[in-house]
Structure 1
Amino acid sequence: MAVSADAAVMELLDSSNYVDWSVWVKTYLLAQDLWDVVEQDEEEEEADDKFKAWREKNATALHTIQISCGREASSLIRNTSSAKRAWDTLAENFKPKPGYYNDFHQCQPLFDAVWSGDWDEAKQFLTLHPNAIRTRLPSTKETALHMATQLEHEHIVEELMQVMSEEDLEITDNDGWTALALAASRGNIKMVECMI
């Protein structure tokens, strides 16, 4: 969905772009000195200037979040009067769950980079989308590490090991193979040692 040139974001929030959207909106709110109302609990309602200042910042931050949402997201926060509650509700509903990245097609550039042996491209993608490290190919359920291991791109395997957790290494493909098992089956001692 198109947004106006003076909008806080390049794309309205939908089910496929939460990670990028949240960075854009947070950066905008930080630049406008509004992020603190999203991080803190609501001020107690009082008639003093402190509460009035908070209420004004909250309304501005909430309005920014609301106008940065697509229809589905907007419907979830329609009756919310707190920027913090709106932000938390959107995160709960749209933030990718650990071990799963929202949309495989968003991660295609990572797999293309690994396929071609281009670590610089893969690294750039992972810097912007760190959760993509656990994305799996729909057909084989292989991760980028599985692919790099299959193709024996040792330099990429070594780099991926720097950004993966132990749990990431336990991810199996359709055949129940971890990347470590694939490396061992290929007899690639360098990759096996790197993974251990």
Structure 2
Amino acid sequence: MATGAVSADAAVVEVLNGRNYLDWSVLVKTYLLAQDLWDVVEEDEEEADDKFKAWRKKNATALHTIQISCGRDTFSLIRDTTSAKRAWDTLAEKFKQKPFLPSKSPVQILNLIKQPPGCDKSLYKPLFDAVSRGDWNEAKEFLTLHPDAIRARHSYSNKTALCMATDLEHEHIVEELVQLMSEEDLEITDNNGRTVLALAASRGNIKMVECMVRKSKKILSIAINQNLTPIVLAASNER
């Protein structure tokens, strides 16, 4: 258990104090991934494989990392916990920021619900930069560490990564992102009330349209402004 400042080779630069959970969780998760310990945080002992002795050692190492990354008050919450997964879940339940839903339209509220909990838009800047450059390898690497980022929105444009890739017509990135997303994710709209399918249709990009429709045919019927569906929009643009 840390009491204040931590050493330069520690997992975090500041112990968990109840106000810095987002940054803390990113740093500790990255450290545990690098040490090949994240699996014991995702899976409890009942779900581990038959090599219990190896699992027990990894669990102890991961748990110790979490413990020494906590301040006195936060450590008291997990003092009696013997599982790295339960320790992580306890801290997440206590400190992870809950999404705030202001008074907005149903579509805007739906989009807010689909934002990653406790979303810090600046955290996802590397993803948007990679998508903007058309660099799928870098974008994929970021999404591997932060899978919830696939629903995050850009700080200024308010676009998701898929919306940005569609707008820029980075077809290879669009196809990869669609594969990673759920059907509901494809229903997220931009500031103009358009789904990514409507945006792809307005661009006249058949390849992007086809990959989205293969994922979800429901989005074909989602109307945008002026009650236009993507099909009508494409036709009106003579695409």
In structure 1, the residue matched to 2:212 is 195
5+ residue gaps, structure 2: 47-55, 99-113, 214-239
Shift of 1:28: 6.0
1:159 aligns with 2:176: yes
Amino acid at match of 1:190: K
Q: Bigger relative contact order, structure 1 or 2, given CA contacts below 8 A and separation 6+?
A: 1
2:127 matches 1:126: no
The letter for the 2-side match of 1:140 is S
One of 21, 31, 43 as aligned partner of 1:15? 21
Does 2:88 match 1:81?
Answer: no
Work out whether residues 76 and 89 of structure 1, in 8 Å CA contact, stay in contact via their aligned partners in 2.
no
Relative to the length of structure 2, the TM-score reads 0.59
Following the alignment from structure 1 to structure 2, what is the Cα–Cα distance between the partners of residues 75 and 182?
A: 49
CA separation in 1, counterparts of 2:76 and 2:115?
A: 30
Change (3 A) 1:136 1:110: same
Q: Which residue of 2 aligns with 1:4?
A: 7
1:39 counterpart residue number: 44
Structure 2 residue 106 is the aligned partner of structure 1 residue 99: no
Distance in 1 between residues matched to 2:207 and 2:73, nearest whole Å: 52
Gaps of at least 5 residues in structure 1 are 42-53
Percent identity, aligned pairs only, is: 57
Identify the residue that residue 50 of structure 1 maps to in structure 2: none
CA distance in 2, matches of 1:100, 1:86: 21
Scaled by the length of structure 1, what TM-score is found? 0.70
Q: Alpha carbons of 1:29 and 1:116: their partners in 2 closer, same or farther (altered >3 Å)?
A: closer
**Offset, 1:154:** 1.0
Separation in 1, partners of 2:9, 2:27: 18
Q: Give the corresponding residue for 1:112.
A: 129
Offset, 1:27? 7.2
1:165 and 1:19, CA in 2 relative to 1: closer, same or farther beyond 3 A?
farther
* Residue identity matched to 1:21: V
**2-structure distance, mates of 1:119, 1:64:** 32
Alpha carbons of 1:76 and 1:144: their partners in 2 closer, same or farther (altered >3 Å)?
same
Shift of 1:30: 4.8
TM-fit CA distance, 1:79: 4.9
Q: CA deviation at 1:145?
A: 0.4
Alignment coverage as a number of residue pairs: 173
Distance change (3 Å), C-alpha of 1:163 and 1:2? farther
SS of corresponding position for 2:22: coil
- Indicate how the Cα distance of structure 1 residues 122 and 75 shifts in structure 2: closer, same or farther if over 3 A, else same: same
